[in-house]
Structure 1
């Protein structure tokens, strides 16, 4: 009964809607309902209206006529000279061939033919290819061999931490400033005390000997910047202006200009008239170290706000701000012959290129708070840590060829083994360090060491260098 009722209903539906049902042979449609909907909705637009069809035909004939006219005009405007006509035809053929040869491939192979490994890896292994392959890191240069350094003399005499050192230009003596508020002059060859200068009322943090005048400059945590006449051993000038402790001091090599840095920023002074020429404002923390050089940037400052600034001295403006360090920059050093400089912070030593301050490389491995850096002409970089650890590096490649600890003097606490300041004397053959066990140590390279007795322990690394 159910089948008969369904059959009767289907017949009745067919009879009612049969006129609307249309067969579409090109479309595989089983349901008459879909075919009916297509007929009802799209039957009126299956063919263009007569007016629109006539307009389309006219437009097509007009376009064909235009193309024919352009072709005839080009044929008429051909060069009269047959040689010129041949040259034009040859150039058009080349252009058409180059267009045909253009490919949408992502890479172009150096040679024509099959892909490098089309027939297996072995036969075409050495086939050159310019495929997009990640290139290997730059091959590392082999470091230069340097003899290990050792302590040759320990000088005692200060009653506090030795915070600053300076060697005079003739290389006869050096000065040391200490937390005992004194400046002592020592004979470089014998290590004997020649003179003690008193006048500061707090730790002496910076020293500099002028190469063009008989002057010694000093600065300290007592806000004072003093100029000492080395002929009379007396203070002849005070530079008043700093509102807090002064941590660093540097002389310009060619101008009569003195630059100091401290808790309230950096200042530029006229050496003769004692006037404050510039206030180098920009750092958000204390200026821990200042360096001067002849060429731009003439002033480089490192700060506890973990930035390094390169200054335009004439315009009193910042040329560049280097933000590579993550922690406070405690020390700077200028290479004596190259146009480069190094900077140190906790567990980080970096090398930069002047004048723009481009980053060059990292010196990794000295895991301490690094208080001081020094470099000599033989490309030996020294770094001294707050825990007494010292490292010697190859300046060119960043290879650490020696790592040792400075031994605190008998009677000192273990915590007093710390290197606070350092400098190479003028020849670069002796290193002077000031330490928190109140001693001054003089280091020299081991004269008996050779490449056979102390081989270079170096292996190239494949890892990418981190900034």
Structure 2
């Protein structure tokens, strides 16, 4: 049985009534009658449903092939957010060009919901999210770094750096997690097991494996990660410039500052302001969403550009995952 409140017509003819279609004006529609069958009949019935049932009926449009898909794209432009969101969820994984083009021009950030909360022993100082894998790295004020599985909501490994980690960046091509500590010197750990390595992926003498789960098979990762401005100069092939060693003061958990910003697709600016996250559409110059849930200063944010996933860390000792179900 389908969850849709409507029974779709067969695919053979989108313009004629099916077994479960109604005909207004008689079994054989006269010139003055209206045939409520096929795709047009389905659209009419969706519009006449109660508002809370309309999103549940949209999957029936996909039974009408390309015409139904084109109609679903139109619902993506509806003025009611619940219908926009339902259409987006149906279109985001479709391979057709019309669906992909509609998704690229769509703004899904206003529909984000809190998906999970990851509790830590102290305030969050840095975050990074894998661009292809459901993994997130978090750094704490107590010097620990954790790699989390966002699907199972469990940690893959935990290490104690005995340092204040300012920045974390996942480098998927090298299968590395890169961090910056007090001395602004990059530290690398292998994503698979958390073991300390150098920038080329070699294990230094005397390194130990992180505590936590045992290493298991890892998928071959592809693509390139991004480096934030603080470590944009760091590459495997070129040494970093000589930066002055600074002993930074730990920021106070004030609610009167913007502690972190990041970009998504060069279109959306995400800023951590006070105890909330604000998302701005740079193309139209307006705020599209405010995410609330943290109880203290939000100190770090990170996004995955290929899907509406956002993670935020706070002095309230939690990391929150925001996304669409």
TM-score, scaled relative to structure 2: 0.49
Tell me which of the two structures has the higher relative contact order, counting C-alpha pairs closer than 8 angstroms and 6 or more residues apart: 2
TM-score, scaled relative to structure 1: 0.36
